[in-house]
Amino acid sequence: MKKPFRERLKDGVIVCDGAMGTLLELYEYDERPPEIHNIKNPDIVERAHREYIQAGAEIIETNTFSANRMRLDAYHLSDKTREINESAVKIALRAAEDMVYVAGAVGPTGRLLAPLGRTRLSDVKAVFKEQIEFLVKSGVDLLILETFLDLNELDAAIEAAKEISSDIPIIAQKTFSEDGAILATDFPIEVVNHIKSKGVDVVGSNCTVGPQRMYGIIKSVSSEDLVLSAQPAAGIPTLVDGRSIYHATPDYLATYAKQLVEAGVTVVGACCGSTPLHIKAIAEAVRGVKIERKPVLVRRKTTVEEEAAEAKVVTRSELSGKLGHKFITTVELDIPRGLDISSVIEGAKFCKENGFDAVHITDGARARIRMSSIAISHVIQRDIGIETITHLTTRDRNMIGLQAELLGAHELGLRNVLVITGDPAKIGDLPQAKSVFDVDSVGLVKIVKNMNNGQDSVGNPIGEPTSFLIACAANPSAERFEYEIEKLGRKIEAGAEVVITQPMFLVKIFERFLKAVEQFNLPVVVGILPLRSHKHAEFLHHEIPGIDIPSKLREQLFRAGSDAAQMGVDISAEFLREVRKSVAGAYFLPPFKKYEVAVQVLEKSAS
């Protein structure tokens, strides 16, 4: 008969089991998700549990890591949520025979939380509550909340668990990236102390990193007031025929398991890539090993003066300093196909000579193949000396690539980014290409804001913070106007600092927009596109999303005939004259590389 789990924690090291998915794959039961076998092949899941128990595991985890409704929905199994979880507990209890502890395994939802994604934290918490209720009512001895990257999501899982049961023991584990630089900061101890403050029984880490890096994490956080857990992965996998193959041997994991216990770990096991052979070696290695915990470190809080002295100077763009102090003027340059960007350089030179504050460099607009916006922006700033506003879309890069691009852009001296979702690949040069869209523009704004705070997308430190001016786009003529304002509000909440609009033509429509965005108290830069002809206006109105040119103006251009280009300048100048005092600046989109029309519009609007 086993003791209550909290009493058992006081007696010394406890060995947890290893990976369930890895073992099922070895059995050649590799249907996804692994949790489906709770229903289809319960005897195989029970066999896995029994092998871990025979290997020396004192805690076995239910086969429910991915068994929350949101993750199961990806496999069209959300209607099986209750059955999968309840079956998992029944199988584990049968294998445990009241001799070992059954832990209800709860993993993250796999969704990006708002504002990075569209999933609300309240919805995530509700999903956790549902799963945890199934686990607790089915009779688990404790809960293991594991492999959480996002600390907010882990908080939601802890809160959900405590609302379901105020008495259930909880092991809460955050996963840290494979990055030694993180260990050189206070980030791990800050995370661990935060989790401990939520009232859990055991705090720890699992997955992502192998045993050596896990040892570094534990060494950095261990103290006598913490009960710690550690379940490292069996190294970094190699992908072979779609299957992850791990290479860390049982003896290697066992060596570090002993060191982990000596460093302060009470609950020790393994994660992805591990098998009963690994757990057997770990159990033998830690038998009789005394848990050592470091005295609690009392960190002296730095004074405001010390923090100011240690803070690095954050270099913001000249453009950010001008916003709100002068009427800024920017011009979008036409990016040609191929390697020859001489026309772009000439355009930038023209804009600098005529006093414009910055030039816009688009990022594969309309999904056309063009040179990198970051590369062109760097060349222009280096060779011409005018600031750029670098457009960055979420279409072509996943979250890793987006953050890599931002870090590279910052290192190259770029400081102004216009964040946009981007047009889908199917409308461009390569319709068979895949659009990524890991995040939308709201999510990318949040990523840039995080970087300005010295963190990556999930809150890991990146060292020195970036210093980007974060611009976002808005369409005052949007058919779903209320939705456009609501989404703009989310962009601003995520960290946008200036709003740049689509081209505008009617003062009445634009004034409605300005009134709606007064609540945000943010500078607005209005888009100005001087029309060249009736045909040009018809094309933009009917074929380019986001541009609405009133029929009255299109008719005027038709009647103007050969004078249409001059009328287009006059229309833009009159519009800008009317709204100039209500905006922070103008964003000119001169067609066909006619950059001189931006000068003409400015001059006429000021007269």
Contact 230, 218 (CB under 8 A): yes
Q: Note every long-range contact of 310-319, with CB atoms under 8 Å and residues 24 or more positions apart, other chains counting.
A: 312/464, 314/465, 314/467, 315/415, 315/467, 316/415, 316/467, 316/469, 317/387, 317/415, 317/416, 317/467, 317/469, 318/357, 318/387, 319/357, 319/358, 319/387, 319/389, 319/415, 319/416, 319/469
Residue ranges of the chain that CATH labels 3.20.20.220: 318-531+583-596
pLDDT tens column, 258-302: 999 999 999 999 999 999 999 999 999 999 999 887 765 444 444
DSSP string for 66-98: T-SHHHHHTTT-GGGHHHHHHHHHHHHHHHHTT
Classify residue 239 by burial, with Cβ atoms within 10 Å: 0-12, 13-18, 19+: exposed
- Which helix H or strand E contains 134, and what residues bound it? helix 121-138
**Percentage of residues in the chain with pLDDT exceeding 90?**
79
Residue ranges of the chain that CATH labels 3.20.20.330: 5-286
CATH of domain 5-286: 3.20.20.330
- Which helix H or strand E contains 273, and what residues bound it? none
pLDDT tens column, 515-542: 999 999 999 999 999 999 999 999 998 9
Task: Provide φ and ψ at 296, rounded to 5°.
Answer: -65, 130
> Is 70 exceeded by the pLDDT of residue 592?
yes
Cα distance between the two ends of the chain: 91
Strands 265-268 and 228-231: parallel
The whole-angstrom separation of Cα 209 and Cα 211 is: 7
> Is 80 exceeded by the pLDDT of residue 235?
no
pLDDT tens column, 534-576: 999 999 989 888 888 989 999 999 999 999 999 999 999 999 9
Average pLDDT along the chain: 92
Task: Provide φ and ψ at 369, rounded to 5°.
Answer: -80, 115
Contact 169, 104 (CB under 8 A): no
Mean of pLDDT values over 145-154: 95
Which residues contact residue 314 at a Cβ distance below 8 angstroms, ignoring those fewer than 6 apart?
465, 467
Contact 371, 334 (CB under 8 A): no
The whole-angstrom separation of Cα 481 and Cα 499 is: 16
Look at residue 278 and give its three-state secondary structure: helix
The whole-angstrom separation of Cα 160 and Cα 444 is: 29
Task: Provide φ and ψ at 420, rounded to 5°.
Answer: -140, 155
Domain 318-531+583-596 -> CATH class:
alpha beta
